Structure 1
Amino acid sequence: MLPADSLFSNLALSSSEKNLLLNEYKRVLKLRNESGTLLGDLRRILPLHIASIRSDGILSIERHQIASESIALRAPNGREESVLSLKSLRDSVEAVLTMTELLSEYFRAQPESDTVQLALKLSLPFLSPNLIYDATQTLVERMRAESAVPIADGIVRENEKVVSRGEVITDLTKRKLDSYLRAKAEREVRTGELRLYIGKILIVLIIASLFAAYLYFSRPQIFFDNSLLLLLTSVILLELLAAWYSVQFEWLSPYIVPIGLASILFTIIFDSRTGIFATITISLLAATIRGNDFPFALATLFAGGMGVFFTRDIRQRAQVALSVLYVFIGYSVAILAFNFARLASLEEILTDLKFAAISSLLCFLVYPALLLVEKIFGITTDLTLLELSDANHPLLREMAANAPGTYTHTMQVSLLAEEAANCIGANALLCRVGAYFHDIGKIAQARYFAENQTNYNPHDELTAITSGRIIGEHVKQGLELGRLYKLPKRVLDFIPQHHGTTMIHFFYDKALKAFPHDKLNLDDFRYPGPKPQSREAAIVMLADGVEASVRSLTTPNEETVSQIIDVVIRKRLDEDQFSECPLTFAELKAIKESFIKTIMALRHRRVKYPGQKI
């Protein structure tokens, strides 16, 4: 006799289900009758339920995968076809669930009971799909049905008038008009996307070319400097990326884009004109990204412009906070104007103001941005110059202690240069700071320079050639000292450029009396240069020469001062010192007038007090 397990080798029955079936089998053998036993019930009800479910139909795919509400049933011979409602059919999973419900109801037991599970497993081999889905034939029939649908309902001939003004529109006329609109939309879909891209590219080129033209004609020092162009491009692209990102989220207001940050940053790094042109460019490009959003363009332009105007004459870091406030005020005015004009709700207005406030607060990132820009691009901003203009700078304190005459000369030169720079629209702050440090090379050997001497002159014990070399050496020593104290390049440039390539005439003339001309090396009596490369360096050169020359006058008046200034300017022109900087004759005249005014103010006569004898 075979073991009991072999009787159930083809069914995945649990041990309890096997025991149940085996006991029922033994019971039938004992009674010699299936009536009243589980096997008898299974033999009777399973065929009925299986036949009922299969007659309804079992799908070979899940029912939700069929898009239509009915299916076409085709016989294997391909000659008979009927249409069935999808609701009357079941897929394999639904067939099993239905059988489980029927068995549970019949045996009045839970679906998890051994009796129901045993009956279900016995019926599973017979619940296989009998309605097979034919994907290929379905696709063929679908395409055939689509091709059978007429693409047009009626004909409209070329140049045919559809409707005239004042004519009553009938149903046929309306259908023709609707057909025309659909045909037009289809043509625009085919060609509109290309035209859209071409249009946007042209708009970007127009806006960018205006900014590029401004840089080329008005700011060539920026246009031809790759690092500065990279800085401009990087900041503009970051702003445009933020504008594009804001479009991706409907809940984000466009005013979250911190265009005011770029406005303030460019104004501090370059100047107010570059800042306003950059603001216009970013605003228009960002508005283009947002689908030609005119209110956004005007609002950001107004807010950014406010930031530019209140940052252009920055004299302290706290002034940035005031600029941020005015940026927010600019946003607020523009937002209220446009939202009132379109009758926006209070909630919409408050939302825009909230994001504008966030955008304005982001302008405080200008502080770390400036540090990053100065570090990466080697740019010296006016804020850094303000820090260097502090009279307590270690170099200035050392100069005041070790070379007091040079320190006094430096302060006088800075005052002359700053006032002259203001007269011609140059960078007055840069002139002042450059003048502060232009003679730091004299600190180490202060006694060799006339302004620091009293009764003893060490040059009396030296040859003219040696003296000339010592005087010229203060340029090199100044550069070394400036680099040691990490002065920025814009300030270091004043050290060699305030002398340019001029001659040390006093010692050269003295040498000519002691040596033949052909025995002298002119380089021993010429400053190494380079010549002034900026208007600011040229102003300091003139201020340095004028201050030293005027100091030699015993009774200076406006006429003698004017003559001294003319002599200094003529010497510098004769030595071609201004050929490499954009200084005009009109500006030279304005500088001269400024020098006269400042010198006369510094050397005015004081009233003699009663009883004063000295």
Structure 2
Amino acid sequence: MNKKKNSLFAHLISLAVQTIRAKLALLILFSSVFAILAFATYFSFLEMNGFRQVNLLDFEVGKVAERDVTTSREISFVDENATRIRREARQKLITAVFRYDNALSASMQNNFSSFALFLTQSFNEYRQFDQFMLNLQQEYPGILEQKEAKKLFSAQNRDDVLLTARSLFKQLVNEGVTAFPDAGMERFNELEVEVVRSRNDRVERQEVPIKTLLTRDGLRSYVVKSLSLMQKKTELADLIMPLFLPFVSENLVYQADESEAKLEAAIRQVQPVLVVLQKGQKIIKRGFIITDESFRQLHALANSGVYIDIRQFSGSLLFLLLTIFLSFYMFFTALPQELAEFRTIVLLCVFFSLNYLIVLIAGRIHFFSLPLDMVMIIPSAMIAMLVTILINQRVAVLFSVILACGSLIASNFTLAPALFSLFSGISGIAVMRVSGKRIDLVKSACILAVLNPLLVVFLSVVFPSSSRDAWTPVFGSSINGFMSGIFVLGFLPIIESLLNTSSSFRLMEFSDLNSPIMKKMLLSVSGTYNHSIMVATLAESACREIGADPLIARVGAYYHDIGKMDQSEYFVENQTDYNKHLDINPRLSATVIRSHVKQGIEKARQLRLPREIIDIISEHHGNSLITYFYNEAKKLDDSVDPEDFTYPGNPPKTKESAVVMLADVVEAACRTLDKPSVPRLEKFIGELISQKINAHQLDSSELTFRDIGIITRTFVNILAGYYHSRIEYPNQKDPDAQEQKIKDLIGKGKRNE
């Protein structure tokens, strides 16, 4: 039991590995498409509120806004203007620093005390003013003018003046004298200053009104006021002031560095004004004038930096992945036969990526920012028309649904562009007429130029305010519809050539009997040429009756025997009077006959014929037996291997290929039929087709018994008309009988001689 389980498990693993290998190219393709689109989607979400969505050049204060701007997330930013006002207010509250100079104050006090003591001694020593003045100038030259010195010397209360002066000077020094700088205090408090004093190793800071500070200009007022408080005569100020001025210095000094440091520290502590914009907040309203505040908010939005909404981005990627899986299921489950080739899948992936990227980029451009504005450049109609021509209509309809899903994701789940993509694509499919005439593309373009605007009008009613104005998307969609047909007309030959597709337009070009290869067949292998034309007539008519593609059948029939061109004399339809097979053995004859299939495939690839035509060339004999030469070989050797006399191809896999096989064998065999009446043709053709059925040549072609009956009747009708009986005219003579009569007469004459 364990061995059976292990064997089953190994078989499943082997089957899974084989499946992965078989689909490896598809897996790589879809993974690459998803990676590219995911990468593009990431960059579209990145800086969604940055300059990629908001261009400040589009907005100006005082102008009317042309569109709304809404935040997609919560954004906080510093209001620089409000923060600047707060900082300026804080600056005006910071007091400048003035520091009291103790050393200078002590020096000022000592100097003035010495001077006052000198005057007292001089007053006592000298009775004459001249001697007093000379002594004063000797000790303190130029400190007092003679007039001031004489007035003091003559004063009766000069001792009291000196005593009062010493007291006032001490008081003045303790109070402090300051000087304000010419510049540097503009940013500080204009009403108060900070005075710093050091007393007993302790620093005292006190904010005092700036008007209470004593300056040299205010000394006289200070002295007068102090004398008044001391209940002394204010006239003493005239005697005291000359004594003060030489010894007064600014001992309350402005500290520029300390004041600036204090100011900067205070500014750093100022908290910026933080403004919070809530998610979904509309900061710019369409039709309203842009204010300074809204422009500041817009500026903050534009400079909000790198950001990506992980939730929304993840959702978009998830839906993109689901869309790819949906397309995989729809195409590879519902339509495996149409999409069997890798090149077709690559083409659809390119088309999907192109549509997705165009919608994705358009949504990030200002001009296409509104949903209906971007319909002007959505290429869904053009893509749907191309898929209709290159593959078929059914695939095009399913692919339009996939394109609409992609447009929905790329437009950030906006419904209007997705609906336009869907209905515009289906409209392109509906108006497309695949008849092989390129003028039909121009007609389809003109019809789309009318249908697309009607679709936009309908969407604008369902989704109001979805466009910049009413007429731009209408006219743009009309141009889109017309140019879709024109672009299809221009791109189609390029895509057909690159992918070597079997579109009706390309097949019509290959069906031209005036092409160089067909002219060469007419001149070099006229029998094969006429045979191919007849086979094409039979196959095309039969395919039209059973619902297969008559154009593929016709072109396949034209080219199914091009391999006979190199050795045309070995094929009976090209032989005139001598059969070369009489000179070689049956095995070699079979080899020559078999080779025309391989040579036909090589020529078809050189001509870059579509795969469907090459398949018809390789399958028009299937793997059937070359009966005539096989029987001839058996006469010589009973042990001959049938494989040596079998065509190297495979049985037909499509209806068109099977019909060409039947038309080929019927047309060739009916040439040997004597007096081909309708009953004889019907019986003969039925037998030929039955032989192919019994040889299992039609097992993979999907032909039904009903189809075979229709094919038989079609062949009989065409060949009966082709081989119809003619009236024998009275004077008409058989050239072979006349020639035989002449020979008999000549022979009789010789015998008589």
TM-score with structure 1 setting the length = 0.66
Deviation for aligned residue 1:309: 3.0
Pair 1:524–1:139, CA change in 2 (3 A)? same
State which drifts further: 409-418 or 546-555.
546-555
Q: Which residue of 1 aligns with 2:333?
A: 217
Deviation for aligned residue 1:204: 4.2
Pair 1:247–1:54, CA change in 2 (3 A)? same
The separation in 2 between residues aligned to 1:496 and 1:358, in whole angstroms, is 46
Deviation for aligned residue 1:371: 4.7
Query: Which one-letter code corresponds to 1:226 in the other structure?
Result: F
Whether 2:418 is the aligned partner of 1:289: answer no
The separation in 1 between residues aligned to 2:706 and 2:665, in whole angstroms, is 20
Deviation for aligned residue 1:439: 0.7
Whether 2:353 is the aligned partner of 1:237: answer yes
* Preserved CA contact (<8 Å) 1:57 1:130: no
* Preserved CA contact (<8 Å) 1:418 1:428: yes
* Preserved CA contact (<8 Å) 2:433 2:440: no
Deviation for aligned residue 1:324: 2.3
Pair 1:596–1:300, CA change in 2 (3 A)? farther
Q: Which residue of 2 aligns with 1:449?
A: 571
* Preserved CA contact (<8 Å) 2:511 2:554: yes
Whether 2:466 is the aligned partner of 1:356: answer no
Structure 2 residue corresponding to 1:460, chosen from 582, 599, 602: 582
State which drifts further: 305-314 or 228-237.
305-314
Query: Which one-letter code corresponds to 1:269 in the other structure?
Result: L
SS of residue in 2 equivalent to 1:228:
helix
* Preserved CA contact (<8 Å) 2:404 2:418: yes
Pair 1:389–1:58, CA change in 2 (3 A)? farther
Whether 2:369 is the aligned partner of 1:247: answer no
Q: Which residue of 1 aligns with 2:612?
A: 490
Whether 2:680 is the aligned partner of 1:566: answer no
Measured against aligned partners, the alpha-carbon deviations of 1:124-158 in whole angstroms (never above 9, x if no partner) come to xx998954487887676639x99xxxxxxxxxxxx
Whether 2:649 is the aligned partner of 1:529: answer yes
Structure 2 residue corresponding to 1:142, chosen from 271, 280, 288: 271
Pair 1:131–1:359, CA change in 2 (3 A)? farther
Whether 2:668 is the aligned partner of 1:548: answer yes
Structure 2 residue corresponding to 1:592, chosen from 709, 712, 725: 712
Q: Which residue of 1 aligns with 2:185?
A: 55
Query: Which one-letter code corresponds to 1:415 in the other structure?
Result: T
The separation in 2 between residues aligned to 1:561 and 1:79, in whole angstroms, is 130
- Structure number, greater radius of gyration: 2
The separation in 2 between residues aligned to 1:75 and 1:282, in whole angstroms, is 79
Pair 1:533–1:312, CA change in 2 (3 A)? farther
State which drifts further: 204-213 or 427-436.
204-213
Pair 1:461–1:329, CA change in 2 (3 A)? same
Q: Which residue of 2 aligns with 1:328?
A: 449
Measured against aligned partners, the alpha-carbon deviations of 1:507-542 in whole angstroms (never above 9, x if no partner) come to 2122222x1221x24344221113324332222111
Measured against aligned partners, the alpha-carbon deviations of 1:357-387 in whole angstroms (never above 9, x if no partner) come to 4433155333554455445544443322221
State which drifts further: 438-447 or 579-588.
579-588
Deviation for aligned residue 1:418: 1.5
Query: Which one-letter code corresponds to 2:453 in the other structure?
Result: S
Structure 1 residue corresponding to 2:503, chosen from 381, 386, 399: 381
Whether 2:669 is the aligned partner of 1:539: answer no
SS of residue in 2 equivalent to 1:332:
helix
The separation in 1 between residues aligned to 2:448 and 2:206, in whole angstroms, is 79
Pair 1:342–1:474, CA change in 2 (3 A)? closer
For the aligned residue pairs, the C-alpha RMSD in angstroms reads 4.0
Q: Which residue of 1 aligns with 2:541?
A: 419
Q: Which residue of 2 aligns with 1:259?
A: 380
Measured against aligned partners, the alpha-carbon deviations of 1:210-236 in whole angstroms (never above 9, x if no partner) come to 433331233214555433222211210
* Preserved CA contact (<8 Å) 2:590 2:645: yes
Pair 1:75–1:51, CA change in 2 (3 A)? closer
Measured against aligned partners, the alpha-carbon deviations of 1:260-315 in whole angstroms (never above 9, x if no partner) come to 12112211221111112112210232034324444433333333223223435240
Deviation for aligned residue 1:461: 3.7
* Preserved CA contact (<8 Å) 2:553 2:657: yes
SS of residue in 2 equivalent to 1:257:
coil
SS of residue in 2 equivalent to 1:421:
helix
The separation in 2 between residues aligned to 1:317 and 1:240, in whole angstroms, is 28
The separation in 2 between residues aligned to 1:497 and 1:345, in whole angstroms, is 57
Pair 1:310–1:80, CA change in 2 (3 A)? farther
* Preserved CA contact (<8 Å) 2:496 2:506: no
Pair 1:132–1:376, CA change in 2 (3 A)? farther
* Preserved CA contact (<8 Å) 1:222 1:229: no
Q: Which residue of 2 aligns with 1:298?
A: 419
Q: Which residue of 1 aligns with 2:126?
A: none
SS of residue in 2 equivalent to 1:499:
coil
The separation in 1 between residues aligned to 2:268 and 2:353, in whole angstroms, is 49
| 1:10-29 correspondence to structure 2 within 5 Å | none
Q: Which residue of 1 aligns with 2:237?
A: none
* Residue ranges of structure 2 left out of the alignment (5+ in a row): 1-177, 197-202, 209-254, 275-307, 734-753
Deviation for aligned residue 1:202: 5.5
Query: Which one-letter code corresponds to 1:465 in the other structure?
Result: R
The separation in 2 between residues aligned to 1:73 and 1:423, in whole angstroms, is 110
Whether 2:621 is the aligned partner of 1:499: answer yes
The separation in 2 between residues aligned to 1:217 and 1:424, in whole angstroms, is 25
SS of residue in 2 equivalent to 1:456:
coil
Pair 1:135–1:223, CA change in 2 (3 A)? farther
| 1:378-417 correspondence to structure 2 within 5 Å | 378-417=500-539
The separation in 2 between residues aligned to 1:238 and 1:292, in whole angstroms, is 18
Deviation for aligned residue 1:248: 0.9
Pair 1:405–1:223, CA change in 2 (3 A)? closer
SS of residue in 1 equivalent to 2:367:
coil
SS of residue in 1 equivalent to 2:623:
coil
The separation in 2 between residues aligned to 1:75 and 1:575, in whole angstroms, is 121
The separation in 1 between residues aligned to 2:432 and 2:441, in whole angstroms, is 7
State which drifts further: 195-204 or 551-560.
195-204
Q: Which residue of 2 aligns with 1:164?
A: none
Deviation for aligned residue 1:246: 1.1
* Preserved CA contact (<8 Å) 1:431 1:540: yes
* Preserved CA contact (<8 Å) 1:500 1:528: yes
Pair 1:271–1:346, CA change in 2 (3 A)? closer
Q: How many residues align?
A: 464
Whether 2:548 is the aligned partner of 1:439: answer no
Deviation for aligned residue 1:497: 1.4
Q: Which residue of 2 aligns with 1:18?
A: none
* Preserved CA contact (<8 Å) 2:448 2:478: no
User: Quick one: higher RCO (CA 8 Å, sep 6+), 1 or 2?
Assistant: 2
* Preserved CA contact (<8 Å) 1:54 1:130: no
TM-score with structure 2 setting the length = 0.54
Pair 1:217–1:424, CA change in 2 (3 A)? farther
Q: Which residue of 2 aligns with 1:274?
A: 395
Measured against aligned partners, the alpha-carbon deviations of 1:536-555 in whole angstroms (never above 9, x if no partner) come to 22221111112112232233
The separation in 2 between residues aligned to 1:134 and 1:609, in whole angstroms, is 129
Query: Which one-letter code corresponds to 2:185 in the other structure?
Result: S
* Preserved CA contact (<8 Å) 1:264 1:275: yes
The separation in 2 between residues aligned to 1:241 and 1:346, in whole angstroms, is 21
Query: Which one-letter code corresponds to 2:657 in the other structure?
Result: A
SS of residue in 1 equivalent to 2:181:
helix
Pair 1:486–1:274, CA change in 2 (3 A)? closer
